[in-house]
């Protein structure tokens, strides 16, 4: 830090918890993901930390309001990545690095699904298939 310059202090917004939860619900209804909601709250509403203001993270607020998706976000991100890699492999048959990346991604999906089944956030009979993944991403 240079001499004479002070760090800007981050203060919590004067927004009430109910008001913030309403804004989060509106943004979720517009189709925003939790990470996009966090960025919008920070940039447009001056809320540096939802957790410090409400005591809950965005996922808990969305769950409380019944706006959480049927599948966890991290699992959906991995599935969309696997679809991109699979399409690349179809176009580039000799790309073994892509094949290895695809196999590692599918392995991560299966391990994460096993965890979510154990935590009862996915159905017991949920299984990863490439066809289902293609439909989920579309």
Give me the mean pLDDT over the 101-118 stretch.
96
pLDDT band at 119 (very low <50, low <70, confident <90, very high): very high
Q: What is the pLDDT of residues 52-91, one digit of tens each?
A: 888 888 888 888 888 877 788 889 999 999 999 999 999 9
Q: Name residues whose C-beta falls within 8 Å of residue 13's C-beta, 6 or more positions apart in sequence.
A: 20, 45, 46, 47, 48, 53
Give me the pLDDT at residue 16, please.
80
Query: Which residues are within 8 A (CB) of 47 and not within 5 positions of it... i.e. 6 or more apart?
Result: 12, 13, 15, 20, 41, 53
Q: Is residue 53 a contact partner of residue 17, using CB atoms and an 8 Å limit? A: yes
Nearest 5°: the CA angle 113, 116, 120 is 135
The pLDDT-based confidence of 31 (bands split at 50, 70, 90) is confident
Lowest mean pLDDT among 15-19, 34-38, 83-87, 97-101: 15-19
Q: Which pLDDT does position 10 carry in this prediction?
A: 46
Which pLDDT belongs to residue 111? 97
- Please give the pLDDT value at position 78: 96
Confidence of residue 125 (pLDDT cuts 50, 70, 90): very high
């Amino acid at each position: 830090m240079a001499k004479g310059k002070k760090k800007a202090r981050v203060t919590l917004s004067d927004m009430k918890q109910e008001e913030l939860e309403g804004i989060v619900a509106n943004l979720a209804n517009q189709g925003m993901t939790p990470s996009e909601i966090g960025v919008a709250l920070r940039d447009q509403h001056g809320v540096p930390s939802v957790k410090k203001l409400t005591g809950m993270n965005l996922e808990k607020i969305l769950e409380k309001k019944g706006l959480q998706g049927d599948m966890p976000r991290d699992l959906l991100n991995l599935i969309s990545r696997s679809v991109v890699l699979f399409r690349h492999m179809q176009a580039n048959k000799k790309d073994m690095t892509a094949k290895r990346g695809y196999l590692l991604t599918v392995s991560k999906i299966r391990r994460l699904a096993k965890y979510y089944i154990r935590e009862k956030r996915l159905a017991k009979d949920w299984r990863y298939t490439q066809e289902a993944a293609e439909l989920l991403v579309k």
